[in-house]
Amino acid sequence: MSVRMWILVALLAGSTAAVAMAQSDKQYVPQLADIMNAAQVRHQKLYLAGKARNWELAEFEVRQLAGNLRDAAVFYSGIPIDNVVTLAGGVNAVDDAINARDSQRFAKAFGELTAGCNQCHQSMGRAFIVMKQPSDQPFGDQQFSPKAEH
């Protein structure tokens, strides 16, 4: 299933499935932080795969990242739809660049996706979680120093 289809499925089925699953004491619902930690790992792996021009791995990682974002939207209805749409656009742009095997387009789209992550964090009152272009270091895609006070 394409990244676009995953996002469409999440938007259409999200609210109903989330309510049903959350009300069932038999269904495990991962914490949002756990879903986002998985997304952070995918974010870094996606970047490194694209940087290395390993397009097959990048295709896999963008699908996995889209799945993490879909899960967040499905299980946590408090995430504004604008955030989901913004991130979907970024994921689709990265996916298009991967399919075109275009490193420059990938780098630009990846930067826009990362900016979308930060916009979402800000809108959710989590501006202290700042994503950036990854480095080769573990968790190299997150800024750990606090933002400067204005």
> Per the domain annotation, does 148 fall within a domain?
no
| Residue 5 binned pLDDT confidence (cut-offs 50, 70, 90) | low
pLDDT at 9: 47
> What is the distance of C-alpha 55 from the center of its chain?
18
Q: How far apart are CA 62 and CA 79, in angstroms?
A: 21
Q: Does a structural domain hold residue 45?
A: yes
Identify whether 150 is part of a domain. Answer: no
pLDDT mean over 124-137? 90
Q: Is the pLDDT of residue 149 over 70?
A: no
Give the model's confidence band at 110: pLDDT under 50 very low, under 70 low, under 90 confident, else very high: very high
State which residues form the domain around 128: 3-21+31-143
Q: Do the domain assignments include residue 129? A: yes
The tens digit of pLDDT for each residue in 25-47 reads: 678 899 999 999 999 999 999 99
Question: Per-residue pLDDT tens for 46-92?
Answer: 999 999 999 999 999 999 999 999 999 999 988 988 888 889 999 99
First-to-last C-alpha distance (Å) of the chain: 45
**Domain annotation covers residue 85:** yes
78 within some domain: yes
* CA atoms of 100 and 110, how far apart (whole Å): 14
- Judge contact between 95 and 62, C-beta under 8 A: yes
Whether residue 26 is contained in a domain is answered as: no
| CATH assignment of the domain containing 36 | 1.20.120.290
Percent of the chain with pLDDT over 90: 63
Q: Which of 28, 12, 1, 20 is nearest to 84 (CA)?
A: 12
The domain tally of the chain equals 1
Contact call for residues 36 and 87 (beta carbons, < 8 A): no
